[in-house]
Amino acid sequence: QVQLVESGGGLVQAGGSLRLSCVASGRTFRTYAMGWFRQAPGKEREFVVGINWSGGRTSYADSVKGRFTISRGVAKNTVYLQMNSLKPEDTAVYYCAAVSPDYYYTDPRKYDSWGQGTQVTVSS
């Protein structure tokens, strides 16, 4: 079982920035992709961005392209989500997830492990 722990959420004004982190530990798969999802009240969990094991391939939801950047640490068990130009509609609980084999699906049902989530609130 892989344990994922997110951090870095908080309250920020529109136009501001936040950086989320997710650290994986435990029985990590040999290689695994990771993704960030978010869920706002009353809405389904949606894909935000995914990254493969090497960090060389990424995919972003249209709603965050050009504003969010995902990266993977040298040790590969940590991923970061840099969020710039935040908008009120970005307000949600953000979750990181891991999946093996090494492919970042947009469907949350494909993922094996999930973090507990971190709240991001953007005020207008």
Dihedral sign for Cα atoms in the order 24, 29, 30, 34? negative
For residue 39, what are its two tokens?
């869920």
- pLDDT of 84 higher than 80: yes
Return the pLDDT at 29.
64
Residue 71 vs residues 9, 41, 74: alpha-carbon distances, Å: 17, 27, 10
Which amino acid type is present at position 50? Answer: G
pLDDT(100) > 90: no
Q: What is the pLDDT of residues 101-120, one digit of tens each?
A: 888 899 999 998 999 999 99
Return mean pLDDT, the chain. Answer: 94
Q: Across residues 25-50, what is the average pLDDT?
A: 91
Better pLDDT: 82 or 28: 82
Average pLDDT, integer, range 66-84? 94
Residue-level pLDDT at 103: 86
Measured CA to CA, the distance from residue 43 to residue 37 in angstroms comes to 12
